[in-house]
Amino acid sequence: MCVTATVNSTIATYELKSLNQLGWMAIGFGSHMANSPMVILWQTVNGTVILSQRQATGRVEPLPVTDPPRRATVALRDHTSQGVSTILAFDIPKNNDTIQSLVWAFGVTAPAADPSAFIQQHLDAGAFSLNLSKELEVASVSASGPTASSTQLGGPSIAVDPAPPQSSPVTASNLLHTDGLLVAHAALSAAGFLILLPLGTLVARWARVFTPRWFTAHWFINVVLGIPLVCVGWALGPLAVAQRGRAHVVTPHQICGVALIVLYIFQLALGTLVHLRRPKDGKGHPPRNVGHVVLGLAVFGLSIYTTISGVDRDAEESGASQRVVVAICIGWAAVFAGTYSIGLLFLRRQLAQERLGWNVPESVPVPLPVMVAGTRASSELVAARRRATTVVNRLADDGTHDMFSPPAWVSSLEAGGEAAGEEQTRTEMRQVQAVPVSLSAFI
C-alpha cells in the first residue's frame, strides 16, 4: 500500500495506491488504532468508490461515525487502475498539524456497497508520520527512494515532501524478520501436520498386518518426530502475528490453527489411553480405539484446510504461487485418501490376526508348561518345551491339556517314551491353536 498526500491552502488530498489484490484501504489520523478517526475506501464491482469514516475503541472492527471531526469526500478524479495497482483518493479539510501521525491498514476482501457494511479484518497494518510543513501548489510530489523500498515490503510509501518521514514504527528489518518467522511457521507446520502425521497414520494402517513393530514406528513418527515440529511451527504463527501488531484468532486460518493444535494434543492423549488400556483378551475395538482413528483423519483434513486458508490470505504471494500450493495440498489429500482406502482392504486380515494374537504391539511371553513335581529337567525335556512354544507365543492344542499343562507328547517324553514323543511331535504340529495372553493376566 502506498500513500501520497497533496496539501494546498485549505484541503489535503490523500491518494491510496494498492500494490496487491484490492479489497479495501484505510488511513487513520493518530498513532494508534484506538480512537483514531479513520477514512476507509473501497471500490464496487461497477467501479463506484465507497468512502466510510469510522472509529474503533481498540483492536476491533471500526464502526461508522455520523459526525466526524473532519468530513472527508471522495476526490473528484478518475479512479483508474494502473496495471495491477488501483488508486483511490479522498479530500479532507486541512488541520494545523505540521508533523502528522497516521495509521494505515488494508484488506483483500471488498465490503458490500454500503458505507456502514461489515469490514473483514485487515491483512496488514502499521503506523507512520508525515511532514506537512510545506504547502504544495502542484498535484503531488513523489519521493522515489522511499517508495521503491517500502513498496516491496508492503508498508506505506510516503510522497509528500522530499524529506523523509520523521518516524516509521514498521521498519524494513522488522518486516523482514516477521516474514522469516512466517516462512519458518509454514515450513515446520507443513512438515509436521502434512507429512509426519499422515505418514504415521499410513504406517498404522498398513504395517500392522505385517509386523508387530508397527506401533513402535507409529509412536516414533507421531511423538518423537512430530511433537517438536508441530509445537515449534505452530508457536511461530502467533509470534509473527504479535510482531506485526495484528489481532489473534480472528481469521479462519488462525481459528483453524488453534483448533488444530487442540485436536492434536487430544489425539496424543487418546492414543496413549488406547495403548495403555487395550482389551485384556487382545480382541475387539472399544469406542476409544475407533475415535482415535477418526480423530487422526480429521486432524489431517483440518490441516489441509488450514494450509489453504493461510496461503489464500497472503497477498504478497502471487496468484500463480497460491494456485500451485493449493493444487499440491489437494493432490496430497487425494493421494493420502487413496492410499488409506487401499489399506482398508487389509482390515479383514487385521481382525483375523488380532483374534489369533498376531502382530500385537507388545509381545508378552507365555509361561512354559508347569513342570511336574519329581520330573527330571533334562536338556531334551527343555528343548521339547521350547519347541512347543512358537515365535508368536502359541501352544499346540490336542484337547489333552491347557496352556499351563504339558501336552500328551511332552508327558510321554517325561515318562521315557522318546520315540513316541517324537512321533507325537509330528502329529502335534499339524494343527496349532493360538492362545493370546494379555499382560494384565500376570499383574
Question: What is the residue-averaged pLDDT of the chain?
Answer: 74
Grid cell listed for 179: 516474514
Phi first, then psi, for residue 282 (nearest 5°) are: 75, 10
Closest to 346 (Cα-Cα) out of 157, 171, 214: 214
How many other CB atoms sit within 10 Å of the CB of residue 320? 8
Phi first, then psi, for residue 277 (nearest 5°) are: -120, 45
Q: Report yes or no: 11 and 93 within 8 Å, Cβ to Cβ.
A: yes
How many other CB atoms sit within 10 Å of the CB of residue 146? 20
CATH entry, 2-170, from 3.30.70.120, 3.30.460.20, 2.60.40.1210, 3.40.50.620: 2.60.40.1210
| Residues 142-182 pLDDT 10s | 333 333 233 333 443 434 333 333 333 444 444 445 578 88
| DSSP annotation string for 292-316 | HHHHHHHHHHHHHHHHHHHHHT-TT
Q: C-alpha angle 425/429/431, rounded to 5°? A: 135
Grid cell listed for 277: 488400556
Q: Report yes or no: 32 and 115 within 8 Å, Cβ to Cβ.
A: no
Q: Report yes or no: 170 and 128 within 8 Å, Cβ to Cβ.
A: yes
Classify residue 39 as left (phi > 0), alpha (psi -120 to 50) or beta: beta
Q: Which amino acid is at 63?
A: L
Fold of 174-356: Four Helix Bundle (Hemerythrin (Met), subunit A) (1.20.120)
Tens digits of pLDDT across the chain (443 residues): 788 888 887 888 888 888 767 789 999 998 888 889 999 999 888 888 999 999 998 878 899 998 998 999 998 765 555 555 788 999 999 888 878 888 988 888 889 989 999 998 887 888 888 877 765 544 333 333 333 233 333 443 434 333 333 333 444 444 445 578 888 999 999 999 999 999 999 999 999 888 888 999 999 999 999 999 999 999 999 998 887 666 788 888 899 999 999 999 999 999 999 888 877 665 667 899 899 999 999 999 999 999 998 886 654 555 677 788 899 999 999 999 999 999 999 988 888 888 887 766 654 333 334 333 334 444 555 555 555 544 334 444 445 555 555 555 455 555 554 444 444 444 444 444 555 554 444 44
The predicted structure's pLDDT at residue 157: 40
Grid cell listed for 119: 469490514
| Residues 185-199 pLDDT 10s | 999 999 999 999 999
Burial of 294 (0-12, 13-18, 19+ CB in 10 A): exposed
User: Would the CA dihedral through 56, 61, 67, 70 be positive or negative?
Assistant: positive
Q: Which amino acid is at 203?
A: V
Q: Report yes or no: 343 and 205 within 8 Å, Cβ to Cβ.
A: yes
| DSSP annotation string for 383-419 | HHHHHHB-TTS-B---SS--TTS--HHHHHHHTT-HH
Grid cell listed for 174: 522488522
**SS3 assignment, position 267:** helix
Domain ranges of the chain: 2-170, 174-356, 379-442
**Residue that has been written with the C-alpha cell 504471494 in this structure:** 317
> What is the C-alpha to C-alpha distance for residues 144 and 140, in angstroms, rounded to an integer?
12
Classify residue 297 as left (phi > 0), alpha (psi -120 to 50) or beta: alpha
Closest to 170 (Cα-Cα) out of 160, 158, 182: 158
**Residue that has been written with the C-alpha cell 518521514 in this structure:** 165
| Residues 354-365 pLDDT 10s | 888 776 665 433
Grid cell listed for 139: 498535484
